[in-house]
Amino acid sequence: MRIEDVKVFVVNPIAAEKFEGIGHLYRRGGINYVVVKVLTDEGVYGVGEGTLHASELAVVATINHLKELLIGKDPRNTEDIWNFLHRATYWRGGPIFKTAIAAIDMALWDIKGKLANMPVYQLLGGACRKGVLVYRHADGRDPKEVVENVRKWLEQGYKVVRAQMGGYGGSGKLRHEPAEREGLPATTYFEPTRYLLEVPKLFEYLRSELGMEVELLHDVHEQLSPIEAAQLAKRLEPYRLFFLEDPVSPEHKEALAFIRSQTTTPLAIGEIFCDREQVLPLFVNRWIDYIRIAPMHVGGITEAKKIMTLAEPFGVKSAFHGAADLGPISQAAAIHVQMSIPNCGVQEWTDFRSIQVFCDLFPTPCEVRDGYAYPNEAPGLGIDFNEALAERFPYSPVYMPQIRRTDGTVHGY
């Protein structure tokens, strides 16, 4: 068996409409999903995903550059091909390159599963659990509305909910300025004081209304300095968070040692990590409890499985990134990996299966029942891509939000 071709598609099915569960991204031009289809000389094909929000075309160019190296290779040799692509350029690593490799890697595992007539998780060691625990997002303009939205998810059977108030940074977002011109993002100005004061009060109210047994988490989204993050984590201790996500930016990952020394609040980080070298110190030094990588952004199924094996002896569990800008194929790959590892924690969830256009484009996304996600049991990843329908949803340029401090200094999103 040989690879005959690698086709790349970019589809934006939500550019003009709002869908429940997709959140705020639709207001910024939607989401461009990058899909790969690897074709073989025996008629078997595999699908993968390489979406990197706001950098999609860079990934597409990288895949198109790498594809010539793949023609004629045996798609079953996933390990060799991964290492070959990783070292195909002297300048290896980084989010664009790793996402491109991931898209190809997923498609190769899809082919391998189809050839074996087994779902991918069986090829990774088989099932370690019946389903993968997932969490949903609840937001609101005030604590009462947040409680109402948390309850909506609990009533649907979900066991874990992320609670925010007013989006990332909350009332620390002091003002907004319109975009300089059409198609560019607006600018938000942020200062941490109000946010630092309101979050503990929010969780005090949530616990008074919901009790202590409901699993709640919160995403700082890199908005704080290390000392501010330590202060917040310590103040949140009485409210028993499932975890506090991204308390600092990855550039300050060594500061997690200081934060860990100040609090018993569980910590999670990693959604924009792309290399194993970034996560190893966090594991070995036991600075975190959950690793937030996405298989799509670390090199695919092959590398995600290895990273979670490295995490296991240090008691670190998965909490894979799964926002709406990671599509249904990526989601399926994440579920297959977490089905097969002993240190699965929780999966961030977007319910693509409840949105018809995603079911039509990607027949069929993974299913959630009673708060747990289940892979499709069909051979391979159990999901496909409707190439003909994709023509109706062309690429639309998108950019990430722009955040500054009130004095004009650039701040992270």
Q: Cα–chain-centroid distance for residue 159?
A: 19
- Calpha distance 410→36 (Å, rounded): 35
Give 3-state DSSP helix, strand, coil % of the chain, rounded to 5.
Answer: 40, 20, 40
Q: Which two tokens stand for residue 74?
A: 């045996």
Q: Tell me: cis bond preceding 364? Omega within 30 of 0 counts.
A: yes
Which is the catalytic residue, given 53, 137, 218, 221? 221
Count of CB atoms situated within 10 Å of the CB of 188: 20
- Calpha distance 315→303 (Å, rounded): 19
Would you mind telling me the total number of residues written for the chain in this entry?
A: 413
CB 337, CB 305: distance < 8 Å: yes
SS3 336: helix
- Rg (C-alpha) for the chain, rounded Å, is 21
Strands ordered across the beta sheet of 33-40 = 3-11, 33-40, 45-49
Would residue 221 show up in a list of annotated catalytic residues for this protein?
yes
Would residue 195 show up in a list of annotated catalytic residues for this protein?
no
- Calpha distance 164→132 (Å, rounded): 23
Q: Which two tokens stand for residue 375?
A: 């892979």
SS3 344: strand
Which is the catalytic residue, given 45, 158, 168, 195? 168
Give catalytic residues, as residue numbers: 168, 221
